[in-house]
Amino acid sequence: MSDVETGEVIIEKNPDMVLPIASISKLITALVAQQYMNLREPVTVTRSSVAMYGTYGGLSNGEKILGNDLLYPLLIESSNDAAEVFAESYGYDAFIKHMNEKAKELGMADTSFFEPSGLSYKNISTAKDLMKLVAYITKNHPELWDITRIRQYAILKHSWINGNNLSRKPSFLGGKNGYTSEANRTTASYFSIPVEGGNRKIAITILKSNDRDG
């Protein structure tokens, strides 16, 4: 846990332990898509992307969808399909290369990505590195946090619902959860905490947790 504005670490445990991060990966996926793709253009959903593990997103083979709209199932329903569509539309290997370059650019020295969704245990980071990611998004891409606070987003035949329990908290300003059997429960989230004299903007990153919400 740290103060986003000052960088002060408030409490930490094993901040440099390298662990799988699961769907927190999708925050980098979104950043890379924004930086390297024209999200006002449609992308095409492929058979291989809808064959990904997980049913969230409700995308169908051959469907065309604007990149900007695809950010919603990616970030509020944690759609693995959406992550794959972004990577495949850009060029899979090049997209993953950009994800790793982005991590390096942000000084996330112990972070690396193998694929765009977070399903792989090879998508790894540390709590300290993820603090840098939260701070970067807060300063440079707060619109991504805005998406993660939305309860529901509907377009055409789709209606995507936010499954993040933390988003129900009044103090929640944005973030991304994850879960796989290898990673257990993870989060990289941003809160406004009331303190004497105002509010304090706090980043909380948790890896390998049995009680993330607690």
Q: Is the pLDDT of residue 192 over 80?
A: yes
Q: What are 1-37's pLDDT values in tens digits? A: 999 989 999 999 999 999 999 999 999 999 999 999 9
Q: Rounded to 5 degrees, what are φ and ψ at 91? A: 125, 110
| Residue 51, number of CB atoms within 10 A of its CB | 10
DSSP annotation of 171 reads: T
What is the average pLDDT across 54-75?
Answer: 89
pLDDT value at position 55?
60
Calculate mean pLDDT across residues 68-96: 96
Q: Tell me how far CA of residue 32 lies from CA of 3, 13, 169, 193, in angstroms.
A: 25, 30, 28, 30
Judge whether residue 154 has pLDDT over 90.
yes
**Active-site residue set:** 23, 26, 78
CA pseudo-torsion sign 8, 207, 26, 124: positive
What pTM, to 2 d.p., does this model score?
0.95
Asked whether residue 53 carries a pLDDT value surpassing 80, the answer given is no
φ, ψ of residue 25 to 5 degrees: the values are: -50, -35
Cα atoms in the Cβ-side hemisphere of radius 13 Å centred on 26: 31
Q: Taking a C-beta distance cutoff of 8 angstroms, is the pair 69, 82 a contact?
A: no
The pLDDT, as a whole number, for residue 195 is 87
What is the mean predicted confidence (pLDDT) over 143-154?
96
The Cα-based distances of 157 to 43, 54, 200 in angstroms read 16, 19, 40
H or E segment at 119?
none
Confidence label for 196 from pLDDT (cuts 50, 70 and 90): confident
Cα dihedral 158, 164, 167, 168 in deg (nearest 10): 90
